[in-house]
């Protein structure tokens, strides 16, 4: 598998390029487009751009929004990935609430996880027994985690469940995360990674260095879909290409 590596000078240009890719994918989609979003801070630039430059031209009615992971907090909590997306995107576009499938982080994690699995199973097309998201947007932590699959829980990469409850290794915060097999079923899997703090992990993963198998993001290899990296110059700074 040779991933597509896209490198741009700045985070703004990464966001611009990814927005263009999303627009292309959604426009070319025959019907409903199931997009699993990443959380954290990196997506904010992208969401602001989509809410601005694409507010009218993006066929929002085709998109159903999901998350690769969500923190087990209420939607108005500062850590909520839904809350961040609502602030930077949903509050500024005409997205039908019926198209937004958030993890109900305000519930106990077991209930939220089971409910999200049911929501995915009822709405996302299935292949080989797994949901196939049209676009799986992923970030990566400095420790090489992706979604909420952290290095101390590599078994989540091989779970037979669509989602599992994860725990942030430092904060102890519980999360609901898609598992490795669910991530790898997607038609188009794309990492959006910026910043110098990510450069060593990006080098290890893309150059498949010895030891990279300890990094969850290194196990993101779509079964049939495409894998792409959208990086800024800082995150790509250690790559030999």
Q: What residues make contact with ligand 6PG under the rule CB under 6 A?
A: 38-42, 68-69, 81, 139-141, 145-148
Smallest gap from Cβ 163 to ligand 6PG, in A, equals: 13
**Token couple for 123:** 């709405």
Measured from the CB atom, the residue of 64 and 71 that comes closer to ligand 6PG is 71
Residue with the shortest CB distance to ligand 6PG: 139
Measured from the CB atom, the residue of 54 and 150 that comes closer to ligand 6PG is 150
Smallest gap from Cβ 28 to ligand 6PG, in A, equals: 26
d(CA 75, CA 90): 13
Smallest gap from Cβ 57 to ligand 6PG, in A, equals: 26
| H helix intervals, the chain | 11-28, 43-53, 81-88, 109-123, 180-184, 199-206
Smallest gap from Cβ 72 to ligand 6PG, in A, equals: 11
d(CA 174, CA 29): 34
Measured from the CB atom, the residue of 29 and 195 that comes closer to ligand 6PG is 195
d(CA 200, CA 235): 8
Measured from the CB atom, the residue of 98 and 191 that comes closer to ligand 6PG is 191
d(CA 213, CA 218): 6
Measured from the CB atom, the residue of 134 and 232 that comes closer to ligand 6PG is 232
User: Apex CA 67: angle with CA 53 and CA 195, to 5°?
Assistant: 65
Residue 43 · residue 37 · CB < 8 Å = yes
Smallest gap from Cβ 68 to ligand 6PG, in A, equals: 6
DSSP helix/strand/coil, 135: strand
203 burial type by CB count under 10 A (0-12 exposed, 13-18 middle, 19+ buried): middle
Smallest gap from Cβ 143 to ligand 6PG, in A, equals: 9
DSSP helix/strand/coil, 219: helix
Smallest gap from Cβ 181 to ligand 6PG, in A, equals: 17
* Residue bearing tokens 């597509």: 4
Measured from the CB atom, the residue of 44 and 62 that comes closer to ligand 6PG is 44
Measured from the CB atom, the residue of 41 and 213 that comes closer to ligand 6PG is 41
């Amino acid at each position: 598998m040779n991933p597509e590596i896209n490198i741009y000078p700045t985070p703004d240009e990464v966001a611009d390029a990814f927005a263009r890719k999303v627009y292309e994918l959604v426009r070319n989609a025959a019907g409903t487009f199931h997009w699993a979003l990443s959380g954290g801070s990196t997506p904010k630039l992208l969401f602001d751009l989509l809410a601005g430059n694409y507010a009218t031209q993006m066929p929002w009615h085709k998109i159903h929004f999901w998350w690769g992971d969500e923190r087990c907090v209420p939607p108005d909590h500062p850590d909520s990935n839904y809350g961040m997306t609502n602030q930077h995107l949903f509050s500024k576009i005409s997205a039908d609430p019926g198209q937004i499938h958030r993890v109900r982080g305000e519930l106990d994690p077991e209930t939220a996880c089971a409910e999200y699995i049911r929501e995915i199973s009822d709405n996302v097309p299935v292949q080989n027994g797994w949901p196939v998201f049209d676009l799986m947007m992923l970030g990566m932590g400095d420790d090489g985690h992706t979604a909420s699959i952290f290095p101390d829980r590599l078994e989540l990469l091989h779970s037979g469940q669509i989602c599992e409850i994860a725990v942030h290794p430092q904060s102890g915060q519980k999360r609901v995360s898609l598992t490795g097999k669910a991530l790898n079923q997607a038609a188009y899997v794309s990492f959006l990674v910026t910043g110098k703090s990510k450069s060593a992990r990006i080098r290890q993963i893309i150059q498949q260095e010895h030891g990279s198998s300890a990094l969850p993001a290194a196990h993101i290899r779509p079964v049939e879909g495409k894998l792409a990296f959208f990086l800024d110059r800082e995150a790509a700074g250690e790559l030999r290409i």
